[in-house]
Amino acid sequence: MFQYTLRRLLLAIPVLLGILVVTFFLQRAIPGDPCRSILGERATAEACSRFNAANGLDKPLVNCVSASKPYEFTPENCLINPLDTQFFFYMGQIMTGKFGESLRFSRPVATILIERLPLTIELGFVALVLAILVGVPAGIISAVRQNSAVDVTTMVAANIGVSMPVYWLGLMLAYVFALLLKDTIFWLPPSGRLTAGFVAVPFYEVWGWDLGAEAAGFNFWEFFANLYLFNSLITFNWEVLWDAIRHLILPAAALSTIPLSIIARITRSSMLEVLRQDYIRTARAKGLMERFVIVKHALRNALLPVVTIIGLQLGTLFAGALLTETIFGLAGVGRMLFEAITARDFPIVQAATVVIAVGYVMVNLLVDLSYVFIDPRIRLD
């Protein structure tokens, strides 16, 4: 297994490099000028010249290609040092993990990520857990009671869920639970991460850790402190924990709808195939309890495609997070990425792309490794 894991990690390197190269050129192919997107349409030529020079945007994209004419071969630029280009400057920032500074905020991108990424991780984690806890049992019940009213109702609901636009569902959930039910116990906050007045005090401050100057910048502990569910749980701050959960219910429900529906359909299909196998009939003929047959024999052998589709839903969660965070006013990576693309803030787009790509690769690696524990007959090495 170690050799397989190492081989997969090495194969992920060219994949990530390909993503970085495509991202670099696609950003610069978008019409518009970063200077005027950030400084405004009335920015003077002199101001834009200083802005481009300060952010390395006056350099050619790559050797022999200028920044102003990315689609034309310019022989005069071939005399420029290949290392003194936007592409090598960009790759150098990625390799060092510093990601540079945001063009809009003039702050280190790593610091912005440490503030925004924990929210997106929490939202994605809660949405994925919700999709699994509801989708897998729904698929099992539909398969066991095939062609019954429960099966038909579940699959109709799953088809509707797959077709439901995230932005429309988010607005409808906010309208129902924040407006129509505002005077009932079912009221839920339509936006934000915590109610005004609630403060998630970092665990290192609660425990009296003195991190010095590092606490004010990018550090390992601050990332976990910004995971409000985790932070409030280990500090026993139950009020903040409950308030954070209530703020996540609506966005997580909207974000989990499509993955939940897909997981339910795949679980049902996989279970139906397994339930028709000879060893299932043999287990029933031996007099085993139906619950034991379903859970012990059928479900475990039906899990491989289900686990695979769960890993693939990570991409759906990242794509849906952009709309979900915008609708519910959450300052996460999805919303940050949308705003950065609009403003042509290249360093933020590059950093967010790297984080999403690495997360996707690692989750799929974990899915592949889980096959060994689900089915011992599989040998990864």
In this prediction, residue 262 has a pLDDT band, given cuts at 50, 70 and 90, of: very high
The H-assigned helical ranges of the chain are: 2-29, 34-39, 45-54, 86-96, 109-144, 149-163, 166-174, 203-206, 220-225, 228-234, 238-275, 278-285, 290-292, 300-327, 333-343, 346-374
Q: Which one-letter DSSP state was computed for residue 295?
A: I
b/e burial code for range 269-291 (CB count within 10 A of at least 16 → b): ebbbebbeeeebeebeeeeeeee
Residue with more model confidence, 31 or 216? 31
Of the candidates 160, 364, 370, the residue with the CA atom closest to the CA atom of residue 260? 160
Q: What is the pLDDT of residues 324-363, one digit of tens each?
A: 888 888 888 888 888 888 788 888 888 888 888 888 888 8
- Cross-strand bridge partners of residue 101: 108
Helix axes 238-275, 300-327, angle to 10 degrees: 140
Of the candidates 99, 95, 124, 121, the residue with the CA atom closest to the CA atom of residue 110? 99
User: pLDDT averaged over the chain?
Assistant: 82
The mean per-residue pLDDT over the stretch 98-106 comes to 78
Tokens representing 327? 């609708």
CATH architecture under which domain 109-343 falls:
Orthogonal Bundle (1.10)
3-class DSSP state of 187? coil
- pLDDT value of position 11: 81
How far is it, in rounded angstroms, from Cα 274 to Cα 296?
12
pTM of the model: 0.81
The amino acid occupying position 79 is: L
Show me where the domains of the chain are located: 2-96, 109-343
Q: Is 348 exposed, middle or buried (CB count within 10 Å of its CB: 0-12, 13-18, 19+)?
A: buried
The mean per-residue pLDDT over the stretch 282-289 comes to 85
Cα 211 to Cα 214, 217, 223, 228: the distances in Å are 6, 10, 14, 19
The mean per-residue pLDDT over the stretch 281-292 comes to 85
How far is it, in rounded angstroms, from Cα 8 to Cα 21?
20
Residue 344 backbone phi and psi in degrees, to 5: 55, 45
Residue with more model confidence, 283 or 380? 283
Q: What is the pLDDT of residues 178-223, one digit of tens each?
A: 889 888 888 998 888 888 888 888 888 888 887 655 544 456 788 8
Tell me the residue length of the chain: 381
Rg (CA), the chain: 25
